[in-house]
Amino acid sequence: MVVKEYDSPCGVLYMASIGNELCLCSWHGLSACHGFISDFKDASDYKEEWDVLEKAERELEEYFEGMRQTFDIPLKMFGTEFQKKVWNALLGIPYGETVSYSNVARLIGLPRSTRAVANACSKNPLSIFVPCHRVVSTQGKLTGYAGGVEVKRKLLDLERADMLFGVSLDA
């Protein structure tokens, strides 16, 4: 596993890769790993892992410059089956749009699990790549986010500005 800091326009993100997949992009450093790193025993290739982090950094730079709306980086999700179900659902939220936690709960077929969905979003170890910043309250209010509500607002403003001006420059 390789770890790297990325100084984003919204603050420092900590990224890690295992094998040829990104497994962490967090505002809170390695504490967001929820213990999965110590459980991962497979041998890996340092160069391959470093290449993944370099690609992730390029994709983030393009995202923050308004030139990327989707990501191509392969992701390794460590979490419970429920968390992975929620995180995979988040991947389907279009750039520049928001959905509520209750919408996500319905989407995964568990309409009474709104609080559990919110909890899974709070444990998302792949911020921005798995866009939990696009999930809001039923009333449309910005609620908790690992990077802080102000970072969530900046990310949504970035995406909405791109949509407002018709920018569609996916790399």
Decide if 132 is catalytic: yes
The DSSP annotation for 6-68 comes to EEETTEEEEEEEETTEEEEEETTGGGGGTTHHHH------HHHHHHHHHHHHHHHHHHHTT--
- Indicate if the pLDDT at residue 166 is higher than 70: no
pLDDT digits (tens, 9 = 90+) for 76-100: 998 999 999 999 999 999 999 999 9
Strand duo 99-100 + 21-26: pairing: unpaired
Lowest mean pLDDT among 40-49, 64-73, 140-149: 40-49
Please report the pLDDT score of residue 170 as a whole number.
37
Q: How confident is the model over 136-151, as pLDDT tens digits?
A: 988 878 888 888 899 9
pLDDT digits (tens, 9 = 90+) for 4-21: 999 999 999 999 998 889
Per-residue pLDDT at 68 exceeds 90: yes
